[in-house]
Amino acid sequence: MNTLTETVSETKHHIPFETIASEKLTPVRKSAIDTFNNIGFPTSKDEDWKYLDLSPIKNTPFNHRAAACTNLTASEIEKYKIAGTDAVTLVFVNGVYCAELSTPHKADTFSIEFIETDNALQWFGKLAATEHQPFIALNTAFHHEGLFIHIKKGMEVKQTIHLLHLNDARQEAVAAHPRNLVVAENNSKVQIIATYHSLNHFPSLTNSVIEFFVGENAFVEYDVKQDENEKALQINQVYAQQKRNSVFDISTVTIGGKLVRNNLHIELAEPGCTAHLNGLTVAGENQTVDNHTLVDHASPNCESFQLYKNILDDDAHGVFNGKIFVRQDAQKTNAFQSSKNVLLSDNAVMNAKPQLEIYADDVKCSHGATTGQLDEEALFYFRSRGIGKKDALALLNYAFAGDVIEKINNDAMKADLLKQLAQKLRTDIEFEV
Amino acid sequence: MSEDLKIIDEVTGSDYKWGFVSNIEADTAPKGLNEDTIRFISAKKNEPQWMLDYRLKAFNQWKKMEEPSWAHVNYPKIDFQDIIYYSAPKPKKTLNSLDELDPEVKATFDKLGISLEEQKRLSGVAVDAVIDSVSVKTTFRDELAKLGIIFCSFSEAVREHPELVKKYMGSVVPYTDNFYAALNSAVFSDGSFCYIPKGVRCPMELSTYFRINSAGTGQFERTLIIADEGAYTSYLEGCTAPQRDENQLHAAVVEIYAHKDAQVKYSTVQNWYPGDKNGKGGVYNFVTKRGLCAGERAKISWTQVETGSAITWKYPSVILKGDHSIGEFYSVAVTNNMQQADTGTKMIHIGKNTSSTIISKGISGGKSNNSYRGLVRIGKNALNARNFSQCDSLLLGDRCGAHTFPYIECSNPTAKVEHEATTSKVGEDQIFYCNQRGISTEDAVGLIVNGYCKEVFNQLPMEFAVEAQKLLAVSLEGSVG
């Protein structure tokens, strides 16, 4: 089989999309392929991809149209569901929506349909432009049966909507291109969670794109858990555009995956918006986790808060590249960014690049970045009370990371993450924190 | 434009008024850059073969390199073949006394608090016998020579101390380093050379001012400072007086080599012609400055006050190779009107127990853009490395930009790296407080900005600090309101 670049060049001559999707998107797909052929994969010379080695993605011969649903059963999916929710679970296998495994969803507050419908197409690709973005171009070319989630005006969605992504790479190397679109109309409220999992004998790639349109006074929370295994690669792109007085909160918790790249692009398009971006990475072995954020303050009187933490063990490599961009007319902006990182081993590497690009004068913007070890004194305090070094470190790490998870409003997601965090840090916490 | 800016403009444009002796054709290399130009420069300077070979090697390297484009600055593409790479120093027309000086120019000098003698020197007044600058210089030189300190022009060093130049030149900034360093290595005109022998503490601030032949070092300056074991020196570059320069492109290289226990303090005040308020003209200042703490407990400290130049592209760096070595960077960068600055530092921690401090203050006014770009790299073996960075930006208008691009690369778990940055404007309550006490808004801003930069000014040698404060006030005039 061929590498990704070769596959794309071949596809140029023979586009089989008619067989897999509606034809409405065919021209868009074709032009996305042209774009990809023109720009190709980024290299380490690209400032935005400087610290990331993409060769595992470039050199693996992935199948881009792996069977949807495969032969997975509902019971195999069950363990990925977040316990204790009556969530609307939407299952995507290899990037394709799988109705058999998903919860039936009928509600007055929102509607779900395929992204190829006319309703969705008026929004599709408006934020995630393919120019200069090879992975978005790939996704635009290859995505299949993604969903359009439409939250109706003034409605609060009581159930959590859970986007459950599972890559099945047990038979062959698989590339999935999940593509979803969320439109929250004015005065609506919704909590969406996304979890990423994989079954690997072969490598898998998740190249996901999701676009959010947050209407006036709307509240949207999007919590992501990346828990794929050690053969899985992931490029995750989240775009959001906020209208007047809206709130958009996103938390990205990365626990698994060999190589994970998150690109967040939040546009505060109208005055009075608030955005929270939280990120937590707990990585070990030879994991690489690269978090990029861009908060675009395009309007006055908006606020944004970013908190990113990394705990890196073994040979893990963490990257944080966050940018606060304040446009000329975005006066009275408050924008804050903090990146805190702990290195636990001699071989762990952290690269942080917190950036401010500011063109307005009446602003309050700051960023901070620290990299180091856990507080010696706190460690000593534990040990003086008879708690061993290993346990003390685990507890301190748990508290350090818990800071980010505490910011998640979705209780089920929060509980699930805290539990998993405790496991990952090899600490057994039996009390409520 | 305020009255004061006009004055500065006139001062900076003053070269035309006073003029140069124009008969220089014979000493000027033809436009363009090729091997012949380099041979011409080398021959003009009576350089030995090895120096020429070095230049040619650098030139061949330069041809293979591409002009960097990552900096946050905009300028039309430079045509490197449209530049004259060598012209002999031009003697200035002398005046008979300060009375002949344009009163407005004199007013600016007074504002900056430049001493009478220096005013004379700057404006090209023939200095009288009592304060014969040449004899002053010679006295200094004798005193330095007694201690074994070598302080001379680079060309002189190439001729008289080839073994030192051969050993250290390019050891910190190799000609392969970057586009402009390669260009400089190929065509450098002149510069300073300084060697402090073992255990010697240099008794005075070394400054280009005291060096014979300091005039007209040209646009491709090269400085090499070597501090041997346990030596100490403080070096001053530039001066606060506005300088008009007909060379648009400046690509200097400064190398500092600090041996075990040596300390070097390098202070710069740069106030080159920043162009007019529409961004026409002005100097492009693309400089490579780097110090190497080669031995244990070596210390290199950079202090810079950058107010001039249309475009500044400058990252004084320290490589902390020796264990327990220390790197410091203190910077005030002011941009006004259409100026663009992309400046910062690099601290490369290699040795154990190394520490570095970065204090950067950016001030932007008018339509200018001011970026801090800095790298802190903690190598794998840099046990217990420590870094503290603070980058503050102050915005004095709603059409200017302030940006921060720090790169923090940490590969050692025992390292402690902290970075913080803020961007804000001058507080209205602070201005109101001053107004209420009868201080005009313009003065208040000057006061507040000076307070804001104090941390950096404190690092400057005394006489520099006083001038720098005034320079800051003058640079910012007209940017408020």
Q: Which of B335, B390, B404 to mutate to test the interface with A (most CBs of A within 10 A)?
A: B404
User: Do B403 and A355 lie within an 8 Å CB cutoff?
Assistant: yes
- In chain A, residues with a C-beta closer than 8 Å to the C-beta of B412 are 343, 346
Question: Among all chains, which residue has been given the structure tokens 């978090």?
Answer: A291
Owning domain of residue B334: 20-91+132-476
Closest Cα in chain B to A323? B405
pLDDT band at A27 (very low <50, low <70, confident <90, very high): confident
Cβ contact A360–B380 (<8 Å): no
More confident residue, B89 or A181: A181
User: In terms of Cα–Cα distance, which of B267, B270, B240 is closest to B471?
Assistant: B240
Pick from A270, A304, A327: which residue ends a domain? A270
Q: Assess whether pLDDT exceeds 80 at residue A40.
A: yes
User: For residue A326, what is the nearest residue in chain B, using CA coordinates?
Assistant: B401
Query: Domain range spanning residue A16?
Result: 4-270
Asked if residue B367 is part of any domain, the answer here is yes
A394 CB within 8 Å of a chain B CB? no
* Residue A308, in any domain of the structure: no
A51 close to A319: Cβ distance less than 8 angstroms: yes
Return the residue of B nearest to A312 by Cα. Answer: B413
Do A257 and A393 fall into the same domain?
no
List the single residue in B403, B405, B422 with the smallest CB-CB distance to A366: B422
Among the residue ranges A313-322, B273-282, B328-337, the one predicted with the least confidence is B273-282
Q: Is residue B41 part of a domain?
A: yes
Task: Quote the minimal CA–CA distance from A355 to chain B in Å.
Answer: 5
Residue in B403, B408, B420 closest to A357 by CB? B403
The model's confidence at residue B66, banded by pLDDT at 50, 70 and 90, is: confident
Parallel, antiparallel, or unpaired for β A110-114 and A147-151? Answer: antiparallel
In a domain, A119, yes or no: yes
**Phi, psi (rounded to 5 degrees) for A2:** -100, 160
Query: For residue B354, how many other CB atoms are within 10 A of its CB?
Result: 30
In whole angstroms, how far apart are CA B256 and each of B243, B294, B376? 25, 10, 19
Q: Does A370 touch chain B (CB under 8 A)?
A: yes
**A119 pLDDT higher than 90:** no
Taking only the tens place, the pLDDT of each residue in B278-324 is 777 778 888 899 999 999 999 999 999 888 888 888 999 999 999 99
Query: Do both A257 and A394 map to the same domain?
Result: no
Residues forming beta bridges with residue A226, ordered by sequence position: A196, A254
Task: Tell me what the mean pLDDT of segment A1-24 comes to.
Answer: 52
* A341 vs B: CB within 8 A: yes
Instruction: List the single residue in A with minimal CA-CA distance to B364.
Output: A361
B440-467 confidence digits (pLDDT tens): 888 888 888 888 888 888 888 776 777 7
In-domain check, residue B9: no
Read off the pLDDT band of B144 (50, 70, 90): confident
Q: Which two tokens stand for residue B449?
A: 């900005």
Look at residues B465, B464, B468, B460 and name the one whose alpha carbon lies nearest to residue B301: B460
Are A257 and A397 members of one domain?
no
Name which of A27-36, A86-95, A354-363, B122-131 the model is least confident about. Answer: B122-131
CA distance B28 to chain A (A): 39
Interface check A286 vs B, CB under 8 A = no
Check A367 against B404: CB less than 8 A apart.
Answer: yes
Residue A358 with chain B: CB contacts under 8 Å: 393, 395, 401-403, 423
Residues of A in contact with B378 (CB under 8 A): 371
> Mean pLDDT for chain B?
78
Per-residue pLDDT tens over the stretch A60-85: 888 877 767 767 888 888 888 886 66
Mean pLDDT, to the nearest integer, of B266-277? 80
Question: Chain centroid to CA A360: how far?
Answer: 30
CB-based contact, A43 to chain B, within 8 Å: no
pLDDT at A207: 93
Q: Is B388 on the interface with A (CB under 8 A)?
A: no
Tally of domains in chain A? 2
Distance of residue A379 Cα from the nearest chain B Cα, in angstroms:
15
d(CA A355, CA A367): 8
ipTM comes to 0.77
Cα–Cα distance between B414 and B382 in angstroms, integer? 8
CB contact A112 to B (< 8 Å): no
pLDDT digits (tens, 9 = 90+) for B390-412: 998 888 888 888 999 999 999 98
Q: Are residues A381 and A266 in the same domain?
A: no
- Chain A residue with CA closest to B384: the answer is A372
Q: What is the pLDDT of residue A430?
A: 56
8 Å CB contact of B401 and A357: yes
Decide if pLDDT at A223 tops 90. Answer: yes
Overall domain count for chain B: 1
Which residue of chain B is at minimal alpha-carbon distance from A330? B398
Q: Report A:307-336 residues touching B (Cβ under 8 A).
A: 328, 331
Q: How confident is the model at residue A10 (pLDDT cuts 50, 70, 90)?
A: low
Is this structure's pTM higher than 0.90?
no
Q: For A353, which of B398, B402, B407 is closest by C-beta distance?
A: B407
B149 falls within a domain: yes
B383 in contact with A at a CB cutoff of 8 Å? no
Do A245 and A275 touch, CB atoms closer than 8 A?
Answer: no
Residue A316's closest chain B neighbor by CA? B411
The residue-averaged pLDDT of A233-250 equals: 95
Residue with the larger pLDDT of the pair A191 and B12 = A191
In a domain, B139, yes or no: yes
State residue B91's pLDDT score.
47
Distance CA(A263)–CA(B217), nearest Å, equals 49
Q: A353, B422: Cβ pair inside 8 Å?
A: no
Interface test with B, best of A313, A359, A377 (most B CBs within 10 A): A359
Is the residue at B117 inside a domain?
Answer: no
Chain A residues with CB under 8 Å of B423 CB are 356, 358, 363-366
Across residues B215-224, what is the average pLDDT? 68
Query: From its phi and psi, is residue B245 left (phi > 0), alpha (psi between -120 and 50) or beta?
Result: beta
With an 8 Å Cβ cutoff, is B427 touching chain A?
no
Whether residue B405 lies inside any domain: the answer is yes
Which of B423, B445, B479 is the mutation pick for testing A, counting most A CBs within 10 A?
B423
Do A256 and A380 fall within a single domain?
no
Considering only alpha carbons, which residue of chain B is nearest residue A313? B413
Q: Which residue has the higher pLDDT, A4 or B203?
A: B203
Q: What per-residue confidence (pLDDT) applies to A25?
A: 80
pLDDT (mean) for A345-367: 89
What's the confidence (pLDDT) of residue A3? 55
Out of B72, B400, B408, name the one closest to residue A352 (CB): B408
Higher pLDDT, B260 or B398: B260
Residues in chain B: 481
Does B406 sit within 8 Å of A355, measured CB to CB?
Answer: yes
- A151 lies in the same domain as A26: yes
* Model confidence band, residue B97 (pLDDT cutoffs 50, 70, 90): low
* Residue B322 and residue B294 in contact, taking contact as beta carbons nearer than 8 Å: yes
B108 in any annotated domain: no
Q: Is A312 a domain residue?
A: no
| pLDDT for residue A300 is more than 70 | yes
Q: Decide if pLDDT at B257 tops 50.
A: yes
**Quick check: B212 pLDDT over 50?**
no
Whole-number average pLDDT of chain A: 87
The two tokens of residue A76 are: 């195999």
**Chain B: residue nearest A340 by CA?**
B418
Task: With CB atoms and an 8 Å threshold, state whether A349 touches B409.
Answer: yes
